[in-house]
Amino acid sequence: MYIVGSYTLAVILCFVTMLCWGSWGNTQKLAAKSWRYELFYWDYVIGIVLFSLLLAFTAGSFGSEGRPFLQDLAQVSWTSVGWVALGAVVFNVSNIMLSASVSLAGMAVAFPLGVGIALVMGVLNNLLLHPAEGQNDLLLWIGVVLVVLAVVVNGIASGKVSKNQADKSQNRKGIILAVLAGIIMSFFSALVYNGVDLDNFAAPAAGKMTPYTAMVIFACGMFLSNFVINTIVMKKPFVGEPVTYKQYFAGNFKTHLVGILGGCIWALGTSLNYICAGTAGAAVSYALGQGAPMVAAIWGVFIWKEFKGASKNVYWLLACMFALFIAGLACVVMAGQ
């Protein structure tokens, strides 16, 4: 299988993770306007499963180092499978809750709050459960704080141009969901890494799995848990009318394909995050990936023109946001060297 051998390459691939995590949401914008998130999410999960299998049978099976995918899968212990599957369920619950909070409280409030909590607590969880030797934890935390500040400033800027005026009860419900989503999401990567041998990808311990196998188990866990989690949300949505499977199968091919593309983009980013964790460290790779809101902000500013016509103060806030973001990422990168 392919193994990342240098810290520099690992950091570059973690930036690709950040780009993917911050960009897959564009596919939801490209789907049909009447296509509800609950329906889009099925195609998104299917895309994750398909891409994880493609990667496992290519990069995860070729090369002279490590165990190829099928050989690795055959020796994995049920304990390791359980940890990765649990991580998938945790992520699925938190991701759906975060999306619901955005629909209730708006992107400007929910996303910075949820992702900010997930970033801080996620780095802490990975530091406690999967510490890396030689890592500068103080510099890492300085970088995390700067990135969180950037996320908050982005939220303030978005709030100044947001036209969504949710009532107080909806807003309160959205904030509660965002907080819960952030707390729950912070655990998913640390849980997954319990089933992976982060110290030796080339010769993983017996029962542990390679990142490629972990991604396949994770994707299957998302898909299977979706029959329970997303079905409940479809029948009892946080906002809007219930949707049915009949509506899903009535969607056209292009709409389904766009959702699958979104899943493939997210799966590429997550796979690279797992692959780089052994070289960059679990906390550093997770922190870099969670800079995704800034990537989404770049899409919003330059492609979707979401800030068109905004005041000069908003653009100053955006400039401050990008400066904090760049400084934070620089600290995170230096912390792992």
Q: Which residues pair with 209 in a beta bridge?
A: 196
Q: Contact, 79 vs 242, CB < 8 A?
A: no
Q: Is the pLDDT of residue 167 over 90?
A: no
Q: Is the pLDDT of residue 163 over 60?
A: no
Token pair in block for residue 44: 């998104």
**Does residue 229 sit within a domain?**
yes
Q: Which residues pair with 196 in a beta bridge?
A: 209
Count of domains for the chain = 1
pLDDT at 244: 96
What is each CA distance from 73 to 206, 214, 319, in whole angstroms? 11, 9, 47
**Does residue 2 sit within a domain?**
no
| Interval 284-325: pLDDT, tens | 999 998 888 778 778 877 877 767 888 889 889 989 988 998
pLDDT at 208: 96
Q: Is the pLDDT of residue 246 over 70?
A: yes
Query: Which are the contacts of 201, defined by CB distance < 8 A and separation ≥ 6?
Result: 1, 3, 65, 66, 210, 211, 275, 278
Q: Is the pLDDT of residue 138 over 90?
A: yes
Q: Rounded to an integer, what distance in angstroms lies between the CA atom of residue 24 and that of residue 181? A: 19
Token pair in block for residue 103: 């629909």
**Does residue 1 sit within a domain?**
no
Q: What is the mean pLDDT of the chain?
A: 90
Q: Tell me what the mean pLDDT of segment 171-196 comes to.
A: 91
Give residue 108's pLDDT band: very low, low, confident or very high (50, 70, 90): low
Q: Rounded to an integer, what distance in angstroms lies between the CA atom of residue 220 and that of residue 156? A: 37
pLDDT at 106: 66
pLDDT at 137: 92
Query: Which are the contacts of 165, defined by CB distance < 8 A and separation ≥ 6?
Result: none
Q: Is the pLDDT of residue 65 over 60?
A: yes
Q: Tell me what the mean pLDDT of segment 112-124 comes to.
A: 85
Domain that holds residue 143: 7-335
**Does residue 164 sit within a domain?**
yes
DSSP 194: T
**Does residue 177 sit within a domain?**
yes
pLDDT at 164: 52
Q: Rounded to an integer, what distance in angstroms lies between the CA atom of residue 31 and that of residue 307? A: 22
DSSP 302: I
Q: Across the chain, which distance is largest between two alpha carbons, in Å?
A: 59
**Does residue 70 sit within a domain?**
yes
With H, G, I as helix, E, B as strand and everything else as coil, classify residue 196.
Answer: strand
Give residue 213's pLDDT band: very low, low, confident or very high (50, 70, 90): very high
Q: Contact, 113 vs 245, CB < 8 A?
A: no
